[in-house]
Structure 1
Amino acid sequence: MTTDAGIDVRPASGHTGAEITGVDLAGPLDDAVVAAIRAAVLRWKVVFFREQRLDHTAHVALARRFGEPITPRSRGKASPEGFPQVETTADRLELAGRYGMDRDEWLERRRHTLLRGWHCDHGARVDPPAATILRAETVPPYGGDTTWSNLAAAYEGLSEPVKRFANGLRAEHRLGVGYQTRPGPDSYIQHLQDHQVASVHPLVRVHPETGERLLFVNGYYVEQILGVSRAENSRLLEMFVEQATRPEYTVRFRWEPGSVAFWDNRATVHLAPGDTGHLDFPRVMHRVMLAGDIPVGVDGRPSEAITGSPLHADQ
């Protein structure tokens, strides 16, 4: 589908994702192109571009056309100097030995369920990012795909009685949920104690731009649905997270050097690849996030911080 702005938007699956061609993200973007990209992100939740030639300067400039880039308080060691908004992830550099564990042990201790890896960026903060723009510098010749799921489609897929039930629920999102402590001193537990982050979010969030209702749940941060017993909580979370990540609501993207993914962090959860840890290939990605608002539920109540400052405070 060619838009009035002259770019081509091709859906990548039935519910989620579209590939955009006919635009050079490193060049100047007129207002019509920016509006067309924004509309595609809102409609398809994540959009993909290939063969782009962004450097750090152009990446930040692109982000500024769509919102206010966040300056993270801490970044990985591979992140570039002089570009505080850019976070660089280099899988083997970031995970191996970061907390005194190899990658396999690190993932095993963090992922207490098979759906644990699904998340939105910084979901434990009271103001999660509105969007994320991720570009690939170096990727493996195979493996390393990322998958996204559409939370608006997930909500619409619920039955009417369950929708009404979910509309009134709120849940605690907390950093480090389900982590299994190591015997003896554990540097990751110390990290969590020193950097506690938790918020109460509505289980059903209303999108601030589209008005869509979103099943705002994931396996990475959500610890407790408020007001239910622990036994009920376990079963309800399993049901809602499974609904949020059903295959028919997802899209999977094969990265190439120069690929860019731009997603609505309010309306999606995503799953980082888990199939490259045993491969001796580098995977270097650069991320810029856009400042977001405080989620609001169907009843109009906003999220509340339990501990930890807003992600975008004083910036």
Structure 2
Amino acid sequence: MTTDRGTVYGGTAEGDTVDGAERGAGIEVKPVAGHIGAEITGVDLAEEIDDAVVAEIRAAVLRWKVVFFRDQKLDHASHVAFARRFGEPVVLGRRGSASPPGFPEVETTADRLELGGRFGMDHDEWLRRRRHTLLRGWHCDHGARVDPPAATVLRAETVPPYGGDTTWSNLAAAYAGLSAPVRAFVDGLRAEHRLGVGYQARPGDDGYLRHLLDHQVASVHPLVRVHPETGERVLFVNGYYVEQIVDVSRPESAALLEMLLEQAVRPEYTVRFRWEPGSVAFWDNRATIHLAPGDNAHLGFPRTMHRVMLTGDVPVGVDGRPSEPLTGTEAGRW
């Protein structure tokens, strides 16, 4: 079905709906929120899954933007093998010491805990200087690149007994929820996405600021991108990477971004997931932004997650224009 808000897709590639749960290919897809999120049961991700199940999972990701699996027994090898059924895993050029050395596709979130220390900051200070506004933490993965990842598969190894939830928002629903005049206006805008936007420098010699400048990544993306698989229009905005809307003044840009970010993270467009050991989240990085938890650092509980990202394409706007690299963003370079 096509509307002036973009193409709307419902259901899955195969299967029917019974009491809110979509069934097909031997698995069950059960939506968990009105606009985003579904839990999938009836599949062991550590085993070799057949093409029909792969198609069903892919359809669920496209429809619900993020899907969740519980009680999985993945290790690094099977994590990568599962992700590879849906695309080519990203190989990162730089990882921390917590990431497994024999699996360059796998990045461990515990790496972030050591990053601030490399530049003379504890983790709390590093977060404060990076997240100085309420919406700053919302992001898609590697959104400053000219070709951001298409999807992310994140699995939980160790989680706190409480706290540590992750939240996702559906950017296609956020775009559709704008009024028609505003949709028509933002369809033609573009924005600069830059690594380290808004970082508050430390007094004196700031090693992390030098690090950001030495490894700068920036691109100009359409503010509304057309999803390459569903045709949906997606409000391509987030608090972590967006520098400003181009071709408008900075005050105009600030006001527009505040409005659009607030639209993007309205509660009705979000889903929050409670992690357990063995949980897996698989999300469409082209159509969502997510917020890592900020309620567990003071508790002192370990939280170890592993992610594999899938290589994406260059976003294209409503007018057919692709994103443009500014620095450090040649396609395929990680």
TM over 0.5: yes
The unaligned stretches of length 5 or more in structure 1 are none
Root-mean-square deviation (Å): 1.2
Matching residue of 2:72: 52
What secondary structure does 1:201 align onto? strand
Q: Please tell me whether the aligned partners of residues 103 and 277 of structure 1 are also in contact (alpha carbons under 8 angstroms).
A: no
Matching residue of 1:26: 46
What secondary structure does 1:173 align onto? strand
1: CA distance between counterparts of 2:314 and 2:231? 15
Q: Does 1:63 align with 2:83?
A: yes
2: CA distance between counterparts of 1:4 and 1:71? 33
Q: Does 1:160 align with 2:184?
A: no
Relative to the length of structure 1, the TM-score reads: 0.97
The number of residue pairs the alignment matches comes to 314
Q: Please tell me whether the aligned partners of residues 99 and 111 of structure 2 are also in contact (alpha carbons under 8 angstroms).
A: no
2: CA distance between counterparts of 1:246 and 1:94? 32
- Displacement of 1:95 in angstroms is 5.0
What secondary structure does 2:234 align onto? strand
Q: Percent identity, aligned pairs only?
A: 78
Matching residue of 1:296: 316
2: CA distance between counterparts of 1:82 and 1:132? 20
What secondary structure does 2:47 align onto? coil
1: CA distance between counterparts of 2:182 and 2:153? 33
1:251-294 Cα distance to aligned partner (Å, 9 max, x none): 00000000000000000000000011111111000000000000
The unaligned stretches of length 5 or more in structure 2 are 1-20
- Displacement of 1:96 in angstroms is 5.3
Matching residue of 1:133: 153
Q: 1:137-156 alignment to 2 at 5 Å? A: 137-156=157-176
What secondary structure does 2:68 align onto? strand
Q: Please tell me whether the aligned partners of residues 136 and 284 of structure 1 are also in contact (alpha carbons under 8 angstroms).
A: yes
Q: 1:132-281 alignment to 2 at 5 Å? A: 132-281=152-301
Matching residue of 1:15: 35
- Displacement of 1:203 in angstroms is 0.1
What secondary structure does 2:24 align onto? coil
Q: Please tell me whether the aligned partners of residues 83 and 153 of structure 2 are also in contact (alpha carbons under 8 angstroms).
A: yes
Residues 171/96 of structure 1: CA separation in 2 closer, same or farther (3 Å cut): closer
- Displacement of 1:91 in angstroms is 6.8
Once the two structures are overlaid, the 10-residue window that deviates more, 251-260 or 2-11, is: 2-11
- Displacement of 1:224 in angstroms is 0.9
Q: For residue 144 of structure 1, what is the amino acid of its counterpart?
A: G
What secondary structure does 2:252 align onto? helix
